[in-house]
Amino acid sequence: MKFLDLCKVYIRSGGGGNGCISFRREKFIEYGGPDGGDGGKGGSVWAEAVDGLNTLIDFRYQQHWFAKNGQAGKGQGRTGKDGDDIVLRVPVGTEILDEDEETVIADLTELGQRVLLAKGGNGGWGNLHFKTSTNQAPRRANPGQEEINRTLWLRLKLIADVGLVGLPNAGKSTFLAATSNARPKIADYPFTTLHPNLGVVLVDGKEMVVADIPGLIEGAHEGRGLGDLFLGHVERCAVLLHLIDGSSGSLIEDYQTICNELEAYGAGLAEKPRVTVLNKIDTLDAEEREFLKEELELAGAENILLMSGASGEGVTEVLRALRPHVEAKREAEKPVDPDAEEETWHP
């Protein structure tokens, strides 16, 4: 399945059916009177977050979503049939934006969450509706409300607890493959990761979802390399895992490049909790490890951990360092029960 995280859709709600002008004409009934029914309601367009999806690729091949119109009213007081609603089934984490690509209409972050995108038009009243004691033969009926046309953008931001950031070949995919059942592409050249990958990691009996995004390079916020197109997928994360290639000859420059790109992207990424890890230490001896760690500390990095995704050394310690941030965010997002009684202390 191809990965797609941004697409344009065209939606249209159904128009309401017209009211009917009709008079009852039956044998042996002297005074027939009006009997025109109301028009049916047009169908609405909804969006719903469903399980089992992690891409918007379906909307690449079906961009137009039109609900059905309501049927017109009929004689004998019969109301027209309502138009059927249609539902856009999207992955959890989908943002729905207006045509300007800036105004957020809805953010579907929970399974089963629904939002009304375009309401169907009400049906028009038939002439039976206008019958009064002074107007017993009305010859008027209302037209149904018109449909609503909208152009929207769907943008997917994957729901993950931990976001992996770093330069290409920093070892992000190796780390994800070593700690989860995910099987991202791993090779000895830059940009082997071309789209985000998700993996479920287990540490001390607790699960975390880790997102691996394509590597950043200097100038990514200006569109260089793959740009910062995929940084949106780590906006929702509780903590960022910044991996640095210990075998690189430009360690400090690599660290500062990622920091600068996160700052330039905005959206609060630079302020997120971050765990900095010196990776690929299997290629370093003890003296080199200590020297590089001190260099990173002088450059501003804090609480640096050492790890080798290939050999597994230090991996568990890194996962345990991530867990408190993930649990803190989950605790903060727990819904508050308004019916829960406040505990009172009695001496």
The DSSP letter of residue 283 is G
Where does a domain end: 156, 174, 206?
156
Where does a domain end: 100, 127, 156?
156
Binding residues: 166-173, 191-195, 212-215, 279-282, 308-310
Where does a domain end: 156, 190, 215?
156
pTM: 0.73
151 and 219 part of one domain: no
Can you give the residue range of the structural domain that contains 290?
162-332
Domain count, the chain: 2
Cα-Cα end-to-end distance for the chain: 63
Residue among 3, 41, 2, 1 nearest 19 (CA): 41
Binding residues for Mg(2+): 173, 193
111 and 206 part of one domain: no
232 and 313 part of one domain: yes
Q: Are 180 and 200 in contact (CB under 8 A)?
A: yes
Q: Are 47 and 118 in contact (CB under 8 A)?
A: no
Radius of gyration of the chain (CA): 30
Q: Are 145 and 69 in contact (CB under 8 A)?
A: no
Q: Are 159 and 53 in contact (CB under 8 A)?
A: no
Binding residues for GTP: 166-173, 191-195, 212-215, 279-282, 308-310
DSSP class per residue in 145-167: PPP-EEEEEEEE----SEEEE-S
CATH number of the domain enclosing 37? 2.70.210.12
Question: Digits of tens for pLDDT over the chain (347 positions)?
Answer: 467 778 999 999 999 999 999 998 888 777 788 999 999 999 999 999 998 887 888 898 899 999 999 999 998 889 999 999 999 999 888 999 999 888 999 989 888 999 999 999 999 999 998 988 888 889 899 999 999 999 999 988 877 888 888 888 777 788 888 887 656 555 444 445 556 777 788 888 888 888 887 766 666 555 555 556 677 777 888 888 888 888 887 888 888 888 888 888 877 888 888 888 888 888 888 888 888 888 888 888 888 888 888 888 888 888 888 888 888 888 877 766 555 545 444 54
191 and 106 part of one domain: no
